[in-house]
Amino acid sequence: MNIGVLALQGDVREHLSALAECDALARPVRRPEELEQIDALVIPGGESTTMSNLAITFGLLEPIRKRIAGGMPVYGSCAGMIMLATTVLDGRPDQESFAGIDMTVRRNAFGRQVDSFEADVRIEDVPGDDFHAVFIRAPWVEEVGEDVRVMGRVTSGPAAGRIVAVRQGNLLATAFHPELTGDLRVHRYFVDLVRRAADDAR
């Protein structure tokens, strides 16, 4: 089972390390031919506008859209959540996304870099205590389509109730950065999702 990490921009190394700790074979993906060699993809945090532009430049936008439409499991964190959304608020008018999850996200919803914060999030189907989540210029989800399952909301503070984790089929997205916490539960959840998808495809 090969899981790629989109390595155009953002915290790629941290995701590669977390996936390796979950016993997944993880590799960076920068070119369409590398995309063809993987079973699933992680879209890291970073800057969504830059990521969008680089995906076009490197010829990855349409190939990734096609793989998503074909059922490839994908997990996006922070900017990765924005890249998976069908509708992005407060983005550039020409900003493109992979448009996999039927949701509307608001870019930089929690504020700028100086407004970064940590908060506890209860995530459905992820065992254990609430997840201590790190939010850095994070989006939140304004609304979801009927096929999208809300998996996590901020539990306290000014942002209490905001949607920050969702799943639609084989697609998973969080507004926070689990790769920065040392807590591997979200990555393990995604690796299990990938394994189940592979079993179902056999």
Residues in the chain: 202
Determine the 3-state secondary structure of 181 from DSSP: coil
Determine the 3-state secondary structure of 159 from DSSP: coil
Burial class for 197, CB neighbours closer than 10 Å (0-12, 13-18, 19+): middle
Q: Rounded to an integer, what distance in angstroms lies between the CA atom of residue 44 and that of residue 178? A: 10
Q: Rounded to an integer, what distance in angstroms lies between the CA atom of residue 97 and that of residue 19? A: 24
* Active-site amino acid positions: 78, 177, 179
Helix axes 48-57, 61-69, angle to 10 degrees: 100
Is the distance from CB of 85 to CB of 104 less than 8 angstroms? yes
Radius of gyration of the chain, Cα coordinates, nearest whole angstrom: 15
Helix axes 12-21, 185-201, angle to 10 degrees: 70
Q: Rounded to an integer, what distance in angstroms lies between the CA atom of residue 187 and that of residue 44? A: 12
